Amino acid sequence: MKKIAFLFLGLLPGAFAPLLSQNPWKQAKAIVQSIERPAFPNREVSVLSLGAKPDGITDCLPALKAAIAQMHEQGGGKVVVPPGTYRLNGPIHLRSNVNLYLAEGATLNFSTNPEHYLPLVETTWEGIGCMNYSPLVYAFEQDNIAITGKGVLDAQGSNENWWPWCGAKSYGWTDGMPSQRSPGNRPGLMEMNTREVPPTARIMGPGHYLRPSFVEPFRCTRVLIEGVTLKNAPFWVMHPVYCKDVTVRGVKVISHGPNNDGCDPEACDNVLIEDCYFDTGDDCIALKSGRNQDGRRNNRAIENVVIRNCIMKDGHGGVVIGSEVSGGARNIFAENCQMDSPNLDRAIRIKTNRARGGVIENLYFRNIVVGQVAEAVVKVNMHYTLDGETDVLIPTIRNIQVENVRSTKSPYGIMVLGYDEAHPVEGLHIRNCRFDGVEKGNRIEHAKGLRLEKVRINGVMAKP
């Protein structure tokens, strides 16, 4: 087994590969130390001084835009939103060297009128590049930006707006209403991806019903989101795309709409997510790198990610890799997290399928306390849902270590679904784990080099 592990490590790309051959968790420390964090001049402006009124009625977006422009043009600083309720009839577009600071007691209520999020901007939607409605908080090719403070950003998504666009009756859609599922909308975007139409020529927006992300820095560097509460997103909550040096710290996400993933870094490098709380309608944290043709063409992995000291409540998965992960994923670390809810489906989840391609490798999880989950504590799945996709580019999944995980209730302890005998999940090592209250045991299909070391299922030592 030592020889096999050595062969895996010899294939590792990236500057951190030598550390992995010694102790992978030293790499996690090195990643955190290498992340460049934003720094701002000691300069600030209050939105009140530029005409904002915290009455929940007046449109305060002009004042906020003016404050951001002023700080940017002066070389950087803090835009302060004092306590009160502020209405915004459109998106916030952050600019370099600006820290948007929401004081405790401040709430930004975003408009739910889609026309307020025009003109279209460059974005990705479920891992596919396109021109779509602006995210509610957006930054394009900016450096040294932040959203901080103890305030609240409320997208006001509900079954009355945004959410019915998903096409599900449970979120307010009814027969005859348009949705993303209609021909030319989500299916049309997927078809353009298959034909490799240039992303900026994929025009969505009005008439296509693709909900915008909540907070999305796009091709940015040195990004910080800290302390704020994010509520009721139209779609994915935090979605950094093609970014480097991202820190998400002490953020509280309460958002139970469709596809309300808590934090979805996509094709980013050097990411720290710590001390956060997730109570979501989809995956709490999902790491992504593009879907099918876009992910493979861009060839940008989600890599060098550290997740620690987070709490996960409701959601489809706690820490998740996939499913839009065609650019690959590597050097992912998650530790010291708590996960517990009858509405949390899985704790640790890797999901992909035969159309994705890509290499998922070097994933490390430790010291995770799991209460109740609805399916499996650890799930590695190469048969995730196909959406009419016909390509056969079977991904590679290898070198996953899970240690010191404790759970109290679940149908399955470990679920591994490799593709077939020629494309198994390789090098999964689970040790020093205890899964109690397991109803159905483990389900293992097509796993090569599986090691279970001091793993107990309902008190009984498990064997591969």
The yes-or-no answer on residue 316 being catalytic is yes
- Classified as helix, coil or strand, 401 is strand
Give exposure, 238-254, as e/b (b: 16+ Cβ within 10 Å).
bbbbbbbbbbbbebbbb
The yes-or-no answer on residue 282 being catalytic is yes
Q: Report the distance separating Cα 311 and Cα 339, nearest Å.
A: 6
Q: Report the distance separating Cα 344 and Cα 225, nearest Å.
A: 25
Residue type, 125: W
Identified catalytic residue from 208, 239, 256, 316: 316
Instruction: Output the DSSP codes for 139-155.
Output: EES-EEEEEEES-EEE-
The Cα-based distances of 256 to 108, 110, 186, 193 in angstroms read 18, 17, 21, 29
Name the maximum alpha-carbon separation found in the chain: 67
Q: Report the distance separating Cα 1 and Cα 358, nearest Å.
A: 25
Identified catalytic residue from 282, 294, 314, 340: 282
Instruction: Output the DSSP codes for 116-175.
Output: GG-S-EEEEETTEEEEESPPSEEEES-EEEEEEES-EEE---BTTBBGGGG--GGGT--T
In angstroms, the first-to-last Cα distance of the chain is 14
DSSP, res 344: E
The tokens describing 345, both together, are 């489906």
Cross-strand pairs, 381: 351, 417
DSSP, res 2: H
Q: Report the distance separating Cα 196 and Cα 137, nearest Å.
A: 28
What number of residues does the chain have? 464
- The CA-CA-CA angle for residues 354, 320, 269, to 5°, reads 95
User: Cis link prior to 265 (omega < 30° from 0)?
Assistant: no
Instruction: Output the DSSP codes for 328-339.
Output: -EEEEEEEEEEE
Q: Which of 279, 277, 278, 297 is nearest to 289 (CA)?
A: 297
**How many separate helices (H) and strands (E) can be counted in the chain?**
6, 34
Q: Report the distance separating Cα 322 and Cα 309, nearest Å.
A: 21
Residue type, 254: I
Q: Which of 250, 213, 253 is nearest to 229 (CA)?
A: 253
Q: Which residues are catalytic?
A: 282, 316
